[in-house]
Amino acid sequence: MYLGHHITTIIPALNENIVIGNVIQALLSLEVDGSQVIDRIVVCDNGSTDNTAEIAASLGAEVVFEPRRGYGAACLKAIDAVKHTDILIFVNADGSEKIQELPDLLDPILKQDADLVIGSRKLGVPEIHALSPQQIFGNQLASLLIRAIWKVPVTDLGPFRAIRFPAYRCLQMRDQDYGWTIEMQLKAIRNGLKMIEVPVTALCGKTPSVISGTFRGALGAAYKIIGTILLYGFIDKLLPQKLNIQGTVGRNL
The predicted-structure confidence for 29-39, as pLDDT tens digits, reads as follows 999 999 999 99
pLDDT score, position 240: 56
**Residue 125 within a domain:** yes
Asked, for residue 2, whether it belongs to a domain, the answer is no
Label the pairing between strands 87-90 and 7-13.
parallel
In a domain, 28, yes or no: yes
| Statement: the pTM of the whole predicted model exceeds 0.75 | yes
C-alpha closest to that of 192 among 245, 236, 142, 243: 245
In single-letter form, the type of residue at position 41 comes to I
The whole-angstrom separation of Cα 90 and Cα 75 is 9
| 1 inside domain | no
Name the strand (E) or helix (H) holding 79: helix 71-80
The residue segments making up the domain with residue 94 are: 7-252
Helix (H, G, I), strand (E, B) or coil at 225: helix
Backbone angles phi and psi of 67, in degrees to 5: -70, -25
The list of the chain residues with pLDDT below 50 reads: 242-253
Q: Could you give the CA distance from residue 236 to residue 244 in angstroms, rounded to a whole number?
A: 10
At residue 134, the pLDDT reads 84
Nearest one of 72, 79, 96, 94 to 40, comparing CA atoms: 79
pLDDT of residue 206: 84
Least Cα distance to 165 among 45, 253, 41 occurs for 253
Residue 63 lies in a domain: yes
Residue 216: the pLDDT is 61
pLDDT of residue 189: 96
Q: Looking at residue 12, which CATH number applies to its domain?
A: 3.90.550.10
Residue 62 lies in a domain: yes
Please report whether residue 147 resides in a domain.
Answer: yes
Instruction: Check if the beta carbon of residue 182 is closer than 8 Å to that of residue 225.
Output: yes
Q: Are strands 31-32 and 35-36 parallel, antiparallel or unpaired?
A: antiparallel
As for how many domains the chain has, the answer is 1
Cα atoms in the Cβ-side hemisphere of radius 13 Å centred on 145: 20
pLDDT at 80: 98
Angstrom distance (rounded) from CA 90 to CA 6: 14
Task: Identify which of 145, 149, 162 has the alpha carbon closest to the alpha carbon of residue 245.
Answer: 149
Can you list the positions of beta strands (E) in 37-123? 40-45, 62-65, 87-90, 116-120
